[in-house]
Structure 1
Amino acid sequence: MEILTVIALLLLLLVISSGRLMRSYFVRGRHRGMQEAAAEIIRGVNAHFEVAGQLPAEVSKALEKLKSPAGHVSHRRQRDQGHAHLWVFGDALGSACWSKGNRSGKLSMAPREGKIRVELSPDELQQLTWLAHLGFQYMMPNYRGFESHRFSGEEDARDAAKAVERLEVSVPVTQRPVDPIALSNGRLALIDSWWSERKLAVV
């Protein structure tokens, strides 16, 4: 009877040991699978975040944490650590891809060397083209035009003045023949003088 009890205990210990061993192999296999999955992800999307053929520092750091052994902790703790490392790894990948895409976007949108890019609305562009046309005509000594072109009102004049100002302030400081603020103040003074007189006349 005692022999049967000892054998039963030994079998129980064997089953428990086998279960723990299988559990350990399962946890190690899952950890290895995470590492292989991370390596495949990097291999697939590295063109979207690598800089000069090198992994960003945050991605390398997250990958090293993912590859590091969990240490002598419980299986549940190892699983939680693995999930946390995966989250950090995914966040690092996303940030690296966004940073490279943002830099590439800025470079592609930047003007070429020696050029200046000015953002204008369709209304501002229309105002400027019309003003440029009139200015060109009156700069030509052989122009003999008698037609009269005027702003439709104070708001129209102020919109045109703002459009011209956007061009003037876009000129590099070292290449500005005249202070754009002085030019803008001169135009606004003309507007205020003309329409203030009209308003007083109406009153």
Structure 2
Amino acid sequence: MDILFVLAGLVAGLMVVAWSCARSYFERGRRHGVEEAMREMARGVSSHCALEGGTVPASVEKAMAAVKALGTRGRFARGRSSTDPYHAQLWVLGDAIGEACWLKGHAAGVRRKAPAEGKIRVDLSVNELLQLGWLAHLGFQHMMPNYRGFESYRFGGEREALEGARAISKIEAAVPVQERPVADLAAPFKGRQKLICDWWQVTPDRLMA
């Protein structure tokens, strides 16, 4: 009977040892897996950030260091409802990597949208482009000494004239201050507005020329 108790104790001890060894191997394998994933992520983030001469952001390096530090502390005692330390630090790392990628992509998009050096970009609607193209064509014709056209072109109404005036004002405002032929942009703007008001608002029933 004593032999049975001894054998049962040995079996129980062997099971405890086996469970402890299995748990230790699991923790070591998990730690090695996290470390290998960290190395892969570090290489990916470094290559992504170094495409245009950049460096790994400090927030990402700090988060990586925090995850690596967990591997040197051994096992963590945690309750059933507490958060796994690895999970918490990996969430922080993922947030830092996502923010770094977003900032890099946003900056690249801003650079692509920016005009080339020495160029000026103006935002115009389709109607404004059509108005400017037609006005520029008429202006070019009347600036040529050999132009002998007798046809006359007029705006179709007050709204069309206002759209043309606004489009011209946008072009004038886009010219750098030191390059503007007129220092006060309000003067030509008021002149165009006065022509429109004198024709359509003062005498609205006047026939169009």
TM-score, with length taken from structure 1: 0.83
Task: Provide the rounded CA distance (Å) in 2 between the counterparts of 1:153 and 1:201.
Answer: 12
Task: Provide the rounded CA distance (Å) in 1 between the counterparts of 2:142 and 2:87.
Answer: 74
- Structure 1 pair 148–200 and aligned structure 2 pair: CA distance change class (3 A): closer
- Which residue pairs with 1:91 in the alignment? 95
User: Deviation of residue 43 (structure 1)?
Assistant: 2.4
Task: Tell me, yes or no, if structure 1 residue 185 matches structure 2 residue 190.
Answer: yes
Q: Which moved more, 1:30-39 or 1:137-146?
A: 137-146
User: Deviation of residue 175 (structure 1)?
Assistant: 1.7
- Structure 1 pair 16–182 and aligned structure 2 pair: CA distance change class (3 A): farther
Q: Which structure 2 segments of 5+ residues have no match?
A: none
Q: Given that residues 49 and 55 in structure 2 are in contact (C-alpha distance below 8 angstroms), is that contact kept between their aligned partners in structure 1?
A: no
User: Deviation of residue 127 (structure 1)?
Assistant: 0.8
- Which residue pairs with 1:67 in the alignment? 68
User: Deviation of residue 90 (structure 1)?
Assistant: 1.7
Q: Given that residues 48 and 101 in structure 1 are in contact (C-alpha distance below 8 angstroms), is that contact kept between their aligned partners in structure 2?
A: no
Alignment of 1:129-148 (within 5 A): 129-148=133-152
The RMSD of aligned alpha carbons is 2.7
- Which residue pairs with 1:120 in the alignment? 124
Counting matched residue pairs gives 202
Q: Which structure 1 segments of 5+ residues have no match?
A: none
User: Deviation of residue 68 (structure 1)?
Assistant: 1.0
User: Deviation of residue 162 (structure 1)?
Assistant: 1.2
Task: Provide the rounded CA distance (Å) in 2 between the counterparts of 1:53 and 1:138.
Answer: 54
Identity of aligned residues (%): 50
Q: Which moved more, 1:145-154 or 1:3-12?
A: 3-12
Q: Which moved more, 1:55-64 or 1:7-16?
A: 7-16
Task: Tell me, yes or no, if structure 1 residue 43 matches structure 2 residue 47.
Answer: no
Q: Secondary structure at the match of 1:68?
A: helix
Structure with bigger RCO (C-alpha 8 Å, 6+ apart)? 1
- Which residue pairs with 1:12 in the alignment? 12
Q: Which moved more, 1:76-85 or 1:31-40?
A: 76-85
Q: Which moved more, 1:76-85 or 1:138-147?
A: 76-85
- Which residue pairs with 2:164 in the alignment? 160
Q: Given that residues 165 and 184 in structure 1 are in contact (C-alpha distance below 8 angstroms), is that contact kept between their aligned partners in structure 2?
A: yes
User: Deviation of residue 171 (structure 1)?
Assistant: 1.0
TM-score, with length taken from structure 2: 0.81
- Which residue pairs with 2:23 in the alignment? 23
